[in-house]
Amino acid sequence: MANNLSDVLRGGKSGDLALIEATDAGVRTFTYGELNDQVNALGRGFRARFGGAPFKVAVLARNSADYVVIYFAAMRAGGTVVPFNWRASDEAIDFFLRDAGIDLVLTDDAERHGRRDGAILIGSSAWAALQDPGPLEPAEVSDTDIAQILYTSGSTGTPKGVPLSHAGQYWAVEEGAKLITDPASYRVLVAAPLFHMNALFNIKRTFFTGGSVVVLPGFTPAGFARAVDIFRCDWVSGVPTMIAMLARHLGDAVPRAFAGVRFLFIGSAPYGDNLVAEARRLFPNAEIANFYGTTEAGPTVYGRHPDGRPSPALSCGYPLFPENLRLVGADGALVTGEGEGTLHMRTPATMPGYLNRPETNAAVLRDGWYDSRDIIRQDADGFHYFVGRADDMFISGGHNIYPAEVERVLEQHPVIEQAVVVPVPDDLKHEVPAAFVVTRGGVPLDEAAVKAWFVEQADPYLHPRHIFAVPEIPLAQTNKIDRSRLKAEAADRTGRNKAA
């Protein structure tokens, strides 16, 4: 038998602070004892409702303490929890519900999702009726029993359901916790959406180690800064755009509490030296790590070098389990020294396969190895660097171009704070790079000068043929960069929108 994933809530003592919910309406706090009591009450309600039979609960809601309770209660009761993007279109959510075979929808949105047949509004009388206070032993689970189903963002097509087992996710939490020193003292800020792997893993690892979590409904620079300051969070994470927005919001008025942050994890997208410099200005005493993970193969991939060598600023780190990771070159051979290839992973956390996608599974899973489609470079010391997504790569004049390569060069320019590169159609070269950039302090951009500077730094074929200065980079619903929106905007700006 395996550990039920809800067992991570046993990491803290009953009276220790576990969870802080901070919203505009106020602050709610929960000790480990109080949180487990709420999880048990809802879990007992699930068992009574479904009579002990397997069930799937969908969550369509903003981040909250209630969301955390639902997440663990469904698993503790023997069900599967399926967090959905609550801001997705009705058509997309209809697909999710059918694809996952959902038995019950819990939501905080009365106007949209609360009208669905059988949906229960969090905080309503029906929600209260679900609660059945009392003890609850976690359901026994096998090594293959599914704890949760997470859906991919759909950035490369229709979103895909990723079933993840109790055993695999518990293994990832255990191994990830080993990287933390003095874990029970940590207070972790979670502003990323709880339908995303990053936020869920941070919560589980924190509870497993006995620390405390501050959960925000979502990300805003002001709310993020206020939470770090008020609650003295010492572990924070975000995508590069979030860190850049935070730096612009604060300017030189950085709260003193930021100096108390011990860890800053930046992930989900590549970034350059300028962003690292801004992050170090904001969090001068933090260890900054380039966090890499996938929904399909888990977040426990990279860590510190076994010889104690410091990780280069832009590196993902050193493989935690080299036997569970390999780089496959373009010729199909394994990369053993310096070089780059596609990252393949095989760990206990790897999914058994996408939900209802046998053809896709055959393409990305072989003998338990998951082909991430991420291109990774290995240096002479064994550190790994993210080069780009194979799915993002485009061909310009016969050259393969990964947007991340161009972005990293642009972000070394003294005026450019952040850059995002997308392809636009071109009659001669098929597609060429176009860049959206945010300048430091909003200073004017000399496009011709930046292009001339770029070709002195890198191969000329990489240089962006169009550079657009924008006040900020738009985020998609997962807090990742909205590349689809920028690609459409680039086509409009260059007059290459086929729909126009």
Tens digit of each residue's pLDDT, the chain (500 residues)? 889 999 999 999 999 999 999 998 899 999 999 999 999 999 999 999 999 899 999 999 999 999 999 999 999 999 999 999 898 888 889 999 999 999 999 999 998 898 898 899 999 999 999 999 999 999 999 999 999 999 987 554 578 999 999 999 999 999 988 877 776 678 999 998 999 888 999 999 999 999 999 999 999 999 999 999 999 999 998 878 788 889 989 999 999 999 999 999 887 666 777 788 889 999 999 988 888 889 999 888 998 899 989 888 889 999 999 999 999 998 999 999 999 999 999 999 999 999 999 999 999 999 999 999 999 999 999 999 988 888 888 888 878 888 888 988 998 899 898 899 999 998 888 889 999 999 988 889 999 999 999 989 988 889 999 999 999 888 776 667 888 889 899 989 988 665 43
Question: Could you tell me which residues come within 8 angstroms of residue 232 by beta carbon, excluding any fewer than 6 positions away?
Answer: 187, 257, 260
As its CATH architecture, domain 394-493 has 2-Layer Sandwich (3.30)
- Report residue 122 as tokens: 């969090």
Cα(423)–Cα(402) distance, integer angstroms:
10
Three-class SS of residue 439?
A: strand
The total of other beta-carbon atoms located within 10 Å of residue 229's CB is 15
Q: Which residues pair with 423 in a beta bridge?
A: 433
CA–CA distance, 486 with 136 (Å, rounded to integer): 49
Cβ proximity of 385 and 376 under 8 Å: yes
Is the CB of residue 295 less than 8 Å from the CB of residue 152? yes
Number of H helices, E strands in the chain: 13, 25
Long-range contacts of 120-126 (CB under 8 A, 24+ apart): 122/61, 122/64, 122/66, 122/70, 123/66
Scanning 101-239, the segments in alpha helix (DSSP H) are 125-130, 166-177, 197-209, 221-231
CB 189 within 8 A of CB 217: no
What lies within 8 Å, CB to CB, of 124 at 6+ separation is none
The pLDDT of residue 499 is: 44
Rounded Cα distance, 67 and 81, in Å: 11
The domain spans of the chain are 5-218, 302-389, 394-493
pLDDT attached to residue 500? 38
Tell me, which fold does domain 302-389 have in CATH?
Luciferase; domain 3 (2.30.38)
pTM to 2 decimals?
Answer: 0.86
Q: Which residues pair with residue 12 across a beta bridge?
A: none
Strand ordering across the sheet containing 187-190: 26-31, 17-23, 212-215, 187-190, 235-238, 263-267, 287-291
- Whether CATH 3.40.50.12780 fits 5-218: yes
Q: Which helix (H) or strand (E) holds 435?
A: strand 430-439
State residue 246's pLDDT score.
Answer: 92
336-to-323, 368, 377 alpha-carbon distances in Å:
12, 21, 11
Helix (H) or strand (E) holding 93: helix 90-100
Q: Measured between alpha carbons, how far is 39 from 132 in angstroms, rounded to an integer?
A: 10
Q: What is the dihedral of CA 51, 56, 60, 65, to 10 degrees?
A: 60
Dist. CA 209–CA 207, nearest whole Å: 5
List of residues 6+ apart from 79 with CB closer than 8 A: 46, 50, 54, 55, 56, 57
